[in-house]
Chain A
Amino acid sequence: MLIVCVFLGHTIFLFLHDRIHPDSNMLALLPTQNHDPVMQRAFTQMLDAAEQHVVVLVGAEKWEEAVAAADAYTGVIRTQTNLLEINPSMNRDQSEWIALFNDHHLRLLTPDQRKLLETRTSRQWLETSLMKLYSPVGGPKAGAWQDDPFDLFGGWLMNRASETPVRPREGRLFVQEGDRYYILVLMTLKAKAFSLETAEKTMPVLKQAERAARDTAQGAKTDIDVLSTGFLLYAAAGSAQAQKEISIIGLGSLFGVALLLWVTFRTIKSILMIWLSVIVGCIGAVSVCSLIFGQIHMLTLVFGASLLGVAQDYGIFFLCNRAVSNPEEASWSVLRRLLPSMILIFGMTVTGYMMLGFMPFPGLQQMALFSTVGLLFAWMTILCWFPVMARANFTKQRAPWPYYRNLLTKLPALGMNRATLIVALIFVGLAIPGIILLRANDDVRLLQNPPKYLIDDQIKISHLLDMPAAAQFYIVRGNSAEQVLLREEALKDRLGILISRGVISGYQAVSNWIPSRATQMANRDLIKEKLLDNREVLPALATAIGEDAQWVTTMRERITKTDTELTLEQFLSTPISETVRHLWIGNVGDEYASIVLLKNISRKDMPALIALANGMDGVQWVDKVEEISSVLRTYRHYMGWAVLLAYVAVFALLFIRYRKRSWQVIAPTIFAGIGTLGILGLTGQNLQLFTMVGFMLLLGLGVDYGIFWQEKVSGDKGYTWVEIGLCAVTALLSFGLLSLSATPVLHSFGLTLLAGLTLVWLFVPFFGRE
């Protein structure tokens, strides 16, 4: 009693002080298997660059309409400065950073420019320069013609600008597609993106802003697009879904069980008792879990709460046996008789859950702890309080479920007869093709099932902004920053071939902005050799515009006046470097590293991209999606073996008590397991890690029913059958309902148990019948 009060107090304290912020980042559940510090830094940097951002594009047919809509949007956001901050869209005076690069303009060339310098004739350079000089609208140029007569620096700047289609206009950033303008609104969250609280507070603001933007279209014949993306939106959609499911599944389970107990015992007391055990379990679990992990994940709550449903079994086990016992017998003595089986079934389930905890999966560990602690609390509640509360008169019905009990007598006996053969044939005939059809799919994306509009918006936004892939990229390493840049350049040479073949459409790399020292020297030497010191180019230019040799000398001096190396430190100190700063990993341990991102990659081109890195020193292809999926695959295999091992272990445990009858206890579960595999295969479900978790639980629960059946504590087979029915239906109500979940993980887990438990329930009476 005291213990419960303490934990109840703690839980209330947690709630009152708002200390429970369920985490909704699915990735937080995954194992961190990466021991490579460079790679860890790379992922952290990529994530940090994106995690806190919300990206919105407000689109309209006319520029003015887009501006009005975007202003309406930002107007709403600006009232909530404590939640969201709008990133400044444009630093009006950009001349500063251009001036910095201008000082090093001889060192900066694009790969195409280098190629042109090597192949073009002096005559062609003369023409280029004259075109530039005379044309009134010859495209952009950097400063005076005399500073950049061959438009090399201008071309380099253009090349940098082409890394993004986003352009400034009237103090705003926009992209254009066809006839539509999209104004970019980039916001930074002030609070953690993966917190339920942030989502709850921020989402209504975003919705309101979106409505305000759309409302600007009223009256005018125009349609306003508002596209949004960001981790927050996914997290919010995930939590909303989980919350909806918790309530549906939770309420369904709660009232389903209540109804069931009412039908069986016809007393409110029995319902309240079972609820009590579950509630105490939940309180204990939440309290202990937040003490140990500091934070509870959304999925833990969904999963854990339903795992706790098993606790009802113990209560039902006790209540059923109390009901059929001699009314004269004291409840304590009933409990004493039941104790060995109670310990056995509790041990079985906890063993199963603990197995989950041994997996190096933070998510599974949390769920395992949550469920084990919850079960322990519920179990203790039953042991300590139920005998006090449940006297012989707790039930008003001595023989519940008459029709169901009659079923038992009608079941054909299992043995060497035709009925057995037919059942066996049907079973084998369905199970084998099912198992053959069974496929595995470990794709990490199955962990989440975001709504379609979110995915659509994200695809549209990445397309409009021409964003590079964020989960697949190259990591380049070296002993020094210089070596990293050199290796990036070697990699980019190879990527250039893929661009010309249309495999990718471009890349982003720090060396696009700051070439290696060696390349900087080579660029300068090339410009000097082909243009400045060339005996034909500048003199011919002088002749063409009526100048003399003096002018040639002046020009040469003017162009080479500033010719120093651009250093990484200089570059990283400019505001413009913010666009690529997340690509520079820098110094980690005794090495340096950077990230090279690719644009427009598709799954089918992955082998080519992996092959590209082969044989290149310090270049590594990283695919986060594939990596996590392969981790999931490894654990699925691992879990598969663990399930088989668990069967052996459980059999060994059973053997201690049941000896020769042990196989009768475990056989229904084994056959149900095989049957479930068949059903999953026939229904086109994929095997994945969480299916295996389902099988582990199936073993834990299924064996309980086997034990109940063998124990016949009260000697009434019919009542034991009712008891198993009660347990099975309550379990189906808690786990089976998970199969309704829209989250693929929960769905597959729920379906496994729905099929498995139903089969165990059906199979149990065939084994060990007298």
Chain B
Amino acid sequence: MKYTSIFHPLLFRCALLCLLLYCLPARADGVMARIQETIAKPDMLCGQFEQKKTLVGMKKPLLSSGRFCVAQDKGIVWHATKPFDSTIRITKNEIVQQYQGDTTMRMSTEKEPAIQTINRIIFSLIAGDFSPLETYFNVAPAMTKNNWQVQLSARDAGLRKAIDKVSVAGDQYVKNIQIEEGNGDKTQIVFSAILTGEAAAATREAAMYE
């Protein structure tokens, strides 16, 4: 009967990765307030992504692209079509991975309670409540006209080993995310062709929530 927990920093990293992809940090100062005003908060948002990963010790960068959706009440669909067809679906109750139509991983909230937290953080951030990020990062916002950029740097040494720096930029929507990991690996994601409302709901990815 020992009640001590087994701490899992990995879940943290997972959560952070997720939230970093879609969200930006906030601070109650003028710049952050303006950034928040600028960002649209649709119920559903779909678009294209292009991802470039540069891993230390690898000659070529790894490119992937596809379409994605983020819905307030349903979760996230990340559908890559290149270099191969794969889907990651994060809903309230589970994370499901599919490779060319076959489910390769399914993790439920029941088994891993952190998933719910991950989702909730993402959604709260999309809704414009970015304060949770400040627990882990120093946040530096900047804004010019309708474009903004937010720099995040890990506060904690342990976290710095995993995610050192993150940079998020955009206008009405998040357009660009760069993640630098402690070991030197880099990930860059660029979003484009963003749709909202009915146009978003009509996409193939929107149908994948079911």
Which residues in A have some Cβ–Cβ distance to B below 8 Å?
46, 49-50, 53, 55, 87, 89-95, 98, 124, 127-128, 130-131, 133-146, 154, 157-158, 160-170, 173, 175-176, 184, 186, 465, 467-468, 470, 544-547, 551, 554, 576, 578-580, 582
Residues on B with C-beta less than 8 A from A141 are 10, 13-14
B17 within 8 Å of A (CB atoms): yes
Closest approach, in angstroms, between the C-beta of A624 and any C-beta of chain B? 12
Asked if A134 and B86 make an inter-chain contact with CB atoms under 8 angstroms apart, the answer reads yes
Measured CB to CB, the nearest residue on chain B to A168 is B7
Measured CB to CB, the nearest residue on chain A to B51 is A136
Asked if A131 and B10 make an inter-chain contact with CB atoms under 8 angstroms apart, the answer reads no
Interface of B is mostly: mixed
Asked if A136 and B189 make an inter-chain contact with CB atoms under 8 angstroms apart, the answer reads yes
Residues on B with C-beta less than 8 A from A165 are 113
B156 within 8 Å of A (CB atoms): yes
Measured CB to CB, the nearest residue on chain B to A469 is B1
Residues on A with C-beta less than 8 A from B56 are 144, 146
A-B contact count (CB 8 A): 167
- How far apart sit A154 and B8, CA to CA, in the bound complex (Å)? 11
**When A and B form their complex, which 8 residue pairs have the shortest distance between CB atoms, in order from nearest?**
A166-B5, A140-B10, A161-B8, A50-B1, A470-B1, A140-B14, A93-B158, A127-B99
Interface size of B as a range: 35 or more
Asked if A46 and B1 make an inter-chain contact with CB atoms under 8 angstroms apart, the answer reads yes
Measured CB to CB, the nearest residue on chain A to B161 is A95
Give 1 or 0 for each of B55-88: 1 = CB within 8 Å of chain A CB.
Answer: 1111110101000000000001010100110101
Residues on B with C-beta less than 8 A from A137 are 14, 17-18, 21, 76, 78, 88, 90
Residues on A with C-beta less than 8 A from B78 are 135-137
14 other A-B residue contacts (CB within 8 Å) besides A134-B51, A470-B1 = A93-B158, A95-B161, A128-B104, A133-B53, A137-B21, A144-B55, A144-B56, A144-B181, A157-B8, A161-B6, A161-B11, A173-B5, A468-B1, A578-B2
Residues on A with C-beta less than 8 A from B95 are 139
Residue contacts A-B, CB under 8 angstroms, 21 given: A46-B1, A50-B2, A53-B3, A94-B158, A98-B9, A127-B104, A128-B104, A130-B99, A131-B97, A134-B80, A134-B83, A137-B78, A140-B10, A167-B7, A176-B116, A176-B117, A545-B58, A545-B60, A547-B59, A547-B60, A580-B2
Give 1 or 0 for each of B108-147: 1 = CB within 8 Å of chain A CB.
Answer: 0001111011000000000000000001000000000000
Asked if A90 and B7 make an inter-chain contact with CB atoms under 8 angstroms apart, the answer reads yes
Measured CB to CB, the nearest residue on chain B to A160 is B6
Residues on B with C-beta less than 8 A from A55 are 3
Which of A90, A130, A580 has most B Cβ within 10 Å?
Answer: A130
Asked if A135 and B3 make an inter-chain contact with CB atoms under 8 angstroms apart, the answer reads no
B183 within 8 Å of A (CB atoms): yes
Give 1 or 0 for each of B11-32: 1 = CB within 8 Å of chain A CB.
Answer: 1111001100100000000000
- How far apart sit A168 and B158, CA to CA, in the bound complex (Å)? 14
- How far apart sit A314 and B18, CA to CA, in the bound complex (Å)? 83
Measured CB to CB, the nearest residue on chain A to B107 is A139
B4: which of A142, A154, A186 is its contact (CB, 8 Å)? A186
Which residues in B have some Cβ–Cβ distance to A below 8 Å?
1-14, 17-18, 21, 51, 53, 55-60, 62, 64, 76, 78, 80, 83-84, 86, 88, 90, 95, 97, 99-100, 104-105, 107, 111-114, 116-117, 135, 156-158, 161, 181, 183, 185, 187, 189
Contact flag A167-B157 (CB < 8 Å), given A142-B10, A579-B6? no
Asked if B62 and A545 make an inter-chain contact with CB atoms under 8 angstroms apart, the answer reads yes
Closest approach, in angstroms, between the C-beta of B129 and any C-beta of chain A? 11
Closest approach, in angstroms, between the C-beta of A516 and any C-beta of chain B? 21
Asked if A467 and B113 make an inter-chain contact with CB atoms under 8 angstroms apart, the answer reads no
Asked if A138 and B6 make an inter-chain contact with CB atoms under 8 angstroms apart, the answer reads no
Residues on B with C-beta less than 8 A from A554 are 57
Asked if B5 and A135 make an inter-chain contact with CB atoms under 8 angstroms apart, the answer reads no
Closest approach, in angstroms, between the C-beta of A358 and any C-beta of chain B? 35
Measured CB to CB, the nearest residue on chain B to A96 is B158
Residues on A with C-beta less than 8 A from B90 are 137
Residues on A with C-beta less than 8 A from B80 are 134-135
- How far apart sit A533 and B30, CA to CA, in the bound complex (Å)? 58
Residues on B with C-beta less than 8 A from A582 are 2
Measured CB to CB, the nearest residue on chain A to B19 is A137
- How far apart sit A89 and B51, CA to CA, in the bound complex (Å)? 38
Measured CB to CB, the nearest residue on chain B to A89 is B5
- How far apart sit A551 and B60, CA to CA, in the bound complex (Å)? 12
- How far apart sit A140 and B5, CA to CA, in the bound complex (Å)? 18
Contact flag A154-B10 (CB < 8 Å), given A137-B76, A578-B4? yes
Closest approach, in angstroms, between the C-beta of B164 and any C-beta of chain A? 13
Asked if B88 and A138 make an inter-chain contact with CB atoms under 8 angstroms apart, the answer reads yes
Residues on A with C-beta less than 8 A from B7 are 90-91, 94, 167-168, 576
Measured CB to CB, the nearest residue on chain B to A550 is B59
Residues on B with C-beta less than 8 A from A551 are 58-59
Closest approach, in angstroms, between the C-beta of B96 and any C-beta of chain A? 11
Closest approach, in angstroms, between the C-beta of B83 and any C-beta of chain A? 7
- How far apart sit A162 and B116, CA to CA, in the bound complex (Å)? 15
Residues on B with C-beta less than 8 A from A546 are 59-60
Asked if B116 and A136 make an inter-chain contact with CB atoms under 8 angstroms apart, the answer reads no
Measured CB to CB, the nearest residue on chain A to B185 is A144
Residues on A with C-beta less than 8 A from B10 are 140-142, 154, 157-158, 161
B97: which of A95, A135, A465 is its contact (CB, 8 Å)? A135
Closest approach, in angstroms, between the C-beta of B104 and any C-beta of chain A? 6
